[in-house]
């Protein structure tokens, strides 16, 4: 059966998962409140067969799938708003939505270090 690279359903392509209630119940909670995705091994992508069954990409096969993985990662980054261009903090939508103080353009009357 032919397999194609696909985004990991467990971590949505991020390669890590935040701590959840199951970690607390199982006693596996970590101080950093997150860990590498066990499903994809931190890659963010898996191999999926024609039936939709996913498996981890073996490390010795990463080079063979690198072109597809790069394409999928670029697609994922575009979906979350990455354009490839640097933006000043006050131009970053996520900072504006959170109300971060750094999202304000610098004012001349702000004392040094106030941002």
Is 41 inside any structural domain?
A: yes
Is 79 inside any structural domain?
A: yes
Q: Model pTM? A: 0.64
Q: How many helices (H) and strands (E) does the chain have?
A: 3, 5
Domain that holds residue 51: 4-103
**pLDDT band per the 50, 70, 90 thresholds, residue 90:** confident
Is 90 inside any structural domain?
A: yes
pLDDT one-digit tens code per residue, 23-38: 566 665 555 556 889 9
Enumerate residues 6+ apart whose C-beta is below 8 A from 115: 101, 102, 104, 106
pLDDT at 55: 97
Is 43 inside any structural domain?
A: yes
Domain count, the chain: 1
């Amino acid at each position: 059966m032919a397999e194609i690279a696909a985004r990991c359903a467990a971590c949505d392509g991020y390669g890590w998962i935040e701590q959840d209630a199951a970690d607390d119940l199982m006693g596996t909670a970590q101080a950093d409140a997150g860990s590498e995705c066990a499903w994809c091994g931190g890659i963010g992508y898996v191999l999926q067969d024609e039936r939709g069954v996913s498996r981890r990409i073996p490390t010795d096969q990463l080079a063979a799938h690198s072109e597809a993985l790069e394409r999928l990662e670029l697609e994922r980054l575009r979906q979350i708003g990455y354009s490839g261009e640097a933006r000043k903090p006050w131009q970053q939508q996520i900072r504006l939505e959170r109300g971060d103080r750094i999202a304000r353009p610098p004012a001349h009357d702000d004392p040094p270090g106030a941002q």
